[in-house]
Amino acid sequence: MIRNAIFSDKDSIMTFCKDTFSWGDYIDQVWNFWLSEGNLFLFEKTIPVGMCHAFYLNNQLWIEGIRINPNFRRQKIASVLIEHAESIGRKKNIQFSYMLIDTTNTSSISMANSLNYNIFQTWKFYSLLPKQTVNYDIYFEKSLNLKSYSQYVKSWRWFPLDKTTLSALYDQNNIIKSTVKGKDSVAILSDSEHFDKTLIVTLFSGSENSSLQIISFLQNYGIEKNYARIQILTRDNLPSFDSLEYRISFNLMKKSLI
C-alpha cells in the first residue's frame, strides 16, 4: 500500500494538491526535487491517494509535504505514511523526527499528538520585499555560541547547527549580527534549494531596534543579490517595517525515535 513515487505519479498527486491552502499549494514546485532526493512515499489504493516526503540527515528525520486526497481522509493514511518514514529512520539509527504544522490546523496537530509528537517550538513566518535601503548597522558574525543558537532553517527544514556548519556559514558571510544598546539580534542566511530567487532567513531577535537594523540590511541585500522574495522565520514578534508582512505561525513538532 506504500511505495516510492516515480515521475509519472505527479499528475495524479496534483489532482488533490491544487487547493490545499487558500493560495493553492507548492507541491508542484518541489516534486522533482523531492523525487531526486528519494524517500517520496505514496499511499496507494489502485491510485495514489496520499503522499509524504522524508529527509534524513545525521540524527534527525524531517517529515514534510503530507497530503491526503479529501475523499480518503479520516482513514489514518497520514499516520501510516509517517510511521513508514519513522521505521526507516529507526533502521538508520535516527534519534529524532520533526515536522511543521500550521498552529491553526488542529486536526493535524491532534494526529501528530496521537503519534507521540509534541510541540517543541512555535515559529512565525514573515515575508519581506527586497528594496534599496542605506540605513542599517550590521556586521558579519564569526563566533556564535552554539548553546544560544542551536538550529537554523534551510529550505524550510529545521537543521541543527554544529561547528562544521557554522564554519561554512562564516566563510560565506551568511551570519549577520546587529547590536543596539547591548541587545543582539542575529540572522542566518540561506538560499532556497527548491524555490528560485528566494532568500530564507532564520532571525533571532534580541530587541526591536537591533532587529530593524537586520531587516533593513536584508531588504538592501535582496536587491543587491537579485532575490525576488525574502522569507523570514523567527520565534519572535517582529516590529512593524516597510513591506514586512506577517504570514502564518507554525508548530515545530518533535518526537524521539529511540
Rounded Cα gap, residues 35 and 2, in angstroms:
15
User: Residue ranges of the domains in the chain?
Assistant: 2-94, 125-250
- Whole-model pTM over 0.75: yes
Query: Looking at residue 228, what is its pLDDT?
Result: 96
Phi, psi of 90 (to 5 degrees): -65, -35
- Confidence band, pLDDT 50/70/90 cuts, at residue 32: very high
Confidence band, pLDDT 50/70/90 cuts, at residue 17: confident
Q: What is the mean pLDDT of residues 39-53?
A: 95
Q: Helices 77-91 and 106-114 meet at what angle, rounded to 10?
A: 50
- The Cα–Cα gap between 119 and 113 comes to 9
How many residues belong to the chain?
258
For residues 247, 148, 155 and 1, what is the CA-based torsion angle, rounded to 10 degrees? -100
**With 90 as the cut, is the pLDDT of residue 248 above it?**
yes
Neighbour count for residue 2 (Cβ, 10 Å): 15
Euclidean distance between CA atoms 227 and 214, whole angstroms: 16
pLDDT in tens, 181-234: 999 999 999 999 989 999 999 999 999 999 999 999 999 999 999 999 999 999
Measured CA to CA, the distance from residue 34 to residue 9 in angstroms comes to 13
**CATH classification of 2-94 is 3.40.640.10, yes or no?**
no
